[in-house]
Amino acid sequence: MRWLLLINLLAVVLLSGAVAIVLEGTPLGIGGTGPSQEVARVNSDGAPEDETQQDETDKGDTPGRGWDRKGHVSDPTPVAPMQVGSNPAEPIPGEADALDPIAPPSGEELAELEPRAEEIEDVLIAAPGVPLPLPAPREVVTQELQTPEAIVSVEPDVAAVEVPSPVELAEPEPVQAPRPLKIATEGDFAPFNFLNETGEVSGFDVDIAKELCRRLTRECVFLTKGWADLVPSLQRGEVDLIAASMRIPSVRRAGLAFSDPYYGSRGRFVTARGAQIVGIGALQASGAQIAVQQGSLHEAYLRQNQEGSELRAVPSLDAALELVSNGTVEAAFGDNAAILQWMKNTNCCALLGTAVTDTKFFGDGIGLVLRESDLELTAAVNKHLQEMASDGTSATLSERYFSGSIY
Per-residue pLDDT, 47: 47
Q: Which CATH superfamily is domain 267-362 in?
A: Periplasmic binding protein-like II (3.40.190.10)
Q: Is the dihedral of CA 184, 185, 187, 188 positive or negative?
A: positive
Extents of the domains making up the chain:
46-79+87-129, 181-263+365-398, 267-362
pLDDT of the residue at 65: 40
CA distance 99 to 404: 128
Task: Please choose, from the candidates 294, 255, 406, the residue with its C-alpha nearest in 3D space to the C-alpha of residue 342.
Answer: 406
Q: What pLDDT, on the 0 to 100 scale, is given for residue 398?
A: 92
Domains 181-263+365-398 and 267-362 share a fold: yes
Is the full-model pTM beyond 0.85? no
User: 181-263+365-398 architecture in CATH?
Assistant: 3-Layer(aba) Sandwich (3.40)
Per-residue confidence (pLDDT) for residue 347, from 0 to 100: 86
* Per-position pLDDT tens, the chain of length 407: 566 767 777 777 677 666 555 555 555 444 444 444 444 444 445 444 444 444 444 444 444 444 343 444 444 444 444 444 445 445 545 444 444 455 555 656 555 555 554 554 444 444 455 555 555 554 444 444 444 444 445 455 555 556 656 655 566 666 677 889 999 999 999 899 999 999 999 999 999 999 999 999 999 999 999 999 999 999 999 999 999 999 998 787 889 999 999 999 999 999 988 778 888 888 877 788 999 999 999 999 999 998 878 999 999 999 999 999 998 999 999 999 999 999 988 888 999 989 999 988 998 899 999 999 999 999 999 999 999 999 999 999 999 999 888 98
Residue 20's pLDDT is what? 57
Contacts of 366 (CB under 8 A, 6+ apart): 245, 246, 247, 248, 261, 262, 263, 264, 265
